[in-house]
Amino acid sequence: MEKNSDPGLVVVGGVAAGMSAAAKARRMRPDLPITVFERTGYVSYGACGLPYYVSGDVPSVDDLIHFTPEQFKRQRNIDVHVHHEVTAIDPSVQTVTVRKPSGEEREVDYTALMLATGASPRRLAGQERFSNVYTIDTIESGLALQRLCAHISSVAIIGGGFISVEMAEAFRRHGITVRIFQRSPHIMKSFDTDMSLLIEHELSRHGVELYKGVGEVELEGIDRVTHVSTDMGRYDVDAVLVAIGVRPNVELALEAGVKLGITGAIETDDHMRTSVPTIYAGGDNTQGYSPVTGTPCYFPLGDTANKMGKVAGENIAAATRRLAGAWEAPSSRCSASPVRAQGSTNTMQRPSALTSWPRRRTTTTAPHTAHTATRSRPSCSPTRRGRSWEGR
């Protein structure tokens, strides 16, 4: 293995939390070596804007990308390596093992490590057998779905959350028949029932077929799915989009001895420090703490990831900044109407009292450094609203 002994901050994952941490650390420590490893081909992009790229609201995938690796190097002196996967962490000697695109591996030293490995879409059992079953979470997956729209006439969407609603609109824009299959009695569980009913009405008004309270979903076919079977019937499909939630990517953390929280994501204190010294975490792989319920929570949202990343980057640079908590505030749109959830709903557990985040004593005494905040990822709001769903 090639050995690189240059110390500094190493960031694993180059989207919201990872690039926010790198950018914040750079603003506060111009002399700090910073290296980012991202296993996909893109960094610093708005993943929540991908359905709007598929629909055509966002004309080019480049509109979702805020910085390229070359811009990070030129403007901020941050070394960003795409198609590089961190495969192991050795906290005892503070090194990570990185696999290059060629397959060759090298070891990289760190003085601080930021784990921003994100989350992966949950999958149906056996879906990998089929070539026409999709998820959407990366630029590459968005490109594949955008190309798909020209070749299909019907699609089944498994799941009824934000991505399902946004992708239903995207497919309808291309004149594709859309069926949503949802296990619970209503879609959009982040909202109370009265709000979910309004969204369901809007979807139905635009030709989306809703199947709620569905039991087991079975994908039928040989190499490609040709039918979706449920306890409500059997349906012809040209493609399937699985959007049944995400799971935090914690494998690297576990192998390094990092403690997980009760949500299954990485547990940190309010400085974004993990249970392993010099290792920080933030983003969709990390558990938060809800100021509303006073309990640990898991909200895999872009805004939360950015805030976690900024707090981690500031503390890596020797400041003492706390994250006040993780607020669930997802937003989207249904047709021309924006929809947003904020705080507690009638279906959530009501707090008995507001509880502060458990604190870990720190010996760092460096003062907070004033700064001007700048975004390290783009806004995910669609650029055009109110267009017809039924094609262009």
Per residue in 1-60, pLDDT (tens digit) is 444 444 899 999 999 999 999 999 999 999 999 999 999 999 999 998 999 999 999 999
What average pLDDT does the segment 306-331 reach?
85
Fold (CATH) for 123-242: FAD/NAD(P)-binding domain (3.50.50)
Name the 3-class secondary structure at 19: helix
> Which residues, listed in sequence order, are joined to residue 86 by a DSSP beta bridge?
98
CA atoms within 13 A on the CB side of 339: 23
Euclidean distance between CA atoms 375 and 314, whole angstroms: 15
| Cα dihedral across residues 43, 152, 213, 198: positive or negative | positive
48 catalytic, yes or no? yes
Question: 48, 297, 334, 380: which one is catalytic?
Answer: 48
DSSP 181: E
Backbone angles phi, psi at 337, to 5 degrees: -100, 125
Q: For the whole model, what pTM was predicted?
A: 0.85
- 330/322: higher pLDDT: 322
pLDDT value at 88 more than 90:
yes
> Which residues, listed in sequence order, are joined to residue 339 by a DSSP beta bridge?
332
Can you read off the two tokens belonging to residue 175?
């004149």
pLDDT at position 136? 97
Residues 392 and 173 sit within 8 Å (Cβ to Cβ): yes
Parallel, antiparallel or unpaired: strands 34-38 and 119-121: unpaired
pLDDT value at 333 more than 80:
no
Q: Could you report the per-residue pLDDT of 272-309, keeping only the tens digit for each?
A: 999 999 999 999 999 999 887 788 999 898 889 999 99
Residues 224 and 132 sit within 8 Å (Cβ to Cβ): yes
Euclidean distance between CA atoms 18 and 376, whole angstroms: 10
Residues 313 and 22 sit within 8 Å (Cβ to Cβ): yes
CATH number of 2-120+247-335: 3.50.50.60
Q: Could you report the per-residue pLDDT of 107-154, keeping only the tens digit for each?
A: 999 999 999 999 999 999 999 999 999 999 999 999 999 999 999 999
The domain ranges of the chain are 2-120+247-335, 123-242
pLDDT at position 11? 98
Could you give the angle at which helices 302-316 and 16-28 cross, rounded to 10 degrees?
Answer: 30
Same CATH fold assignment for domains 2-120+247-335 and 123-242? yes
pLDDT at position 105? 97
Euclidean distance between CA atoms 296 and 288, whole angstroms: 6
Which residues, other chains included, contact 282 with Cβ-Cβ below 8 Å and sequence gap of 6+?
17, 20, 21, 114, 115, 116, 268, 272, 305, 308, 309, 311, 312
Can you read off the two tokens belonging to residue 109?
């030293």
